[in-house]
Structure 1
């Protein structure tokens, strides 16, 4: 009996939709999800050359001798330290010889590439693309 009610409910939900996604609403939800995840210490990343991003990396901000430092990574792969700059570059690599390449990917979002790893971080981009 429960199975039938579940099937009927599923059909009613599907029948109420016109099948077209609201791209604006989807983009807003994704932006909220990214900000909430970063606020909760989670960010999107693609490690070791992965093409797809997953929201399973962590980010922690700590104080360093030269200012704020972000520690980003995935525990079983390793961590990177990123120095937050005040000169408009966003972040720079703080833990080695591999430079950090920063790209603005959206309003309020940057992508940081170091070696084969990429991280997406919320940032004050000033509306630039």
Structure 2
């Protein structure tokens, strides 16, 4: 009888641990944008652009990381100050492309952001 109760309790603990691991992460509110996170990464529509009311935008990465940028007129600057924002030549009329460190982002032109 003891072995049976041990198996049932082990099964219950296992089921609870799977349920916790399988819970869907809440995505932040915002718009999906293209990003390439890390050296040599390809662009995918996997980042979320969250626009806050205080002029700060948060670029949420798929792995849980994020970058904060601040609007400055029609441009942006790093809100954290850790790394500079660098405009990239890959931008077009449809989007603005820039890098922060080894991470690259494409923000749709309708947001009116220019990066030098």
TM-score (normalised: structure 2): 0.61
- SS of the counterpart of 1:101? strand
- Match of residue 73, structure 1, among 44, 60, 64: 60
Say whether residues 1:83 and 2:79 are aligned partners.
no
Q: Are the structure 2 counterparts of residues 107 and 49 from structure 1 closer, same or farther at C-alpha, using a change threshold of 3 Å?
A: same
Q: Which has the larger radius of gyration?
A: 2
TM-score (normalised: structure 1): 0.56
Computed over aligned residues only, the root mean square deviation of the Cα atoms, in angstroms, reads: 2.2
- Match of residue 46, structure 1, among 36, 59, 71: 36
Does the 8 Å CA contact 2:50/2:60 hold for their aligned counterparts?
A: no
Which 4+ residue blocks in structure 1 deviate beyond 2 angstroms?
123-126
Gaps of 5+ in 2: 1-29
Q: Indicate the structure whose relative CO is greater, using CA pairs within 8 Å and at least 6 residues apart.
A: 2
C-alpha deviation, 1:77, in angstroms: 4.4
